Amino acid sequence: MSNQQIYEIHLYIPKRPQLSRSMLEWLFEYGQSTDQPEKFWPVYRIKPKVLARYMMRLDPELRPVQGPGGDVELHYPNTTMGIVLYIHDRGIILFFPYMAYSVYSRVVIGILYTYIRYLYDVAGFWSFDPQLDVISYADDYQSIEETAILMEQVIPKQLQG
């Protein structure tokens, strides 16, 4: 049994003051649809290439890769970290490996929370962790520790199931 799982955190800019469960439910039901009028979307449309440039100013070591359509992937330069920022027209998905009970995971989480905090501060992105079912605005470093502890409680059970 592997002790590694690909983890993801979704980031969106809500049209209302905060991201809510009903917004996420709508996104997961209709988010792949191309025929929904803009007024129904609970999150703002973004320009992936513009946002990728901002992220590369924050971290010039990120490596851009063209994704499907107009999407952009930004790969963290240390490939063993496995960090990918997938930027699409409604938000970002942060992909990274989670290894239970590992200091390495806390380093990866620290890097990602730096990105999350930056995105909240400059554009109002909120995050959703579907594995832990947690909605959050910009988390601080205390939250990193709390997230790591919660991951260590939840993820090993998911890996066994």
- DSSP letter at 131 equals T
H helical segments located in the chain = 21-30, 48-58, 103-123, 141-160
Query: Above 70 in pLDDT, residue 149?
Result: no
Query: Above 80 in pLDDT, residue 4?
Result: no
Tokens of 111: 């890097």
| Interval 42-94: pLDDT, tens | 999 999 999 999 999 999 999 999 999 999 999 999 988 899 999 999 999 99
Mean pLDDT (the chain, rounded): 85
**From start to end of 76-125, where are the E strands?**
84-88, 91-99
**Model pTM score:** 0.83
| Interval 81-107: pLDDT, tens | 899 999 999 999 999 987 666 667 778
CATH for 4-160?
A: 3.30.1400
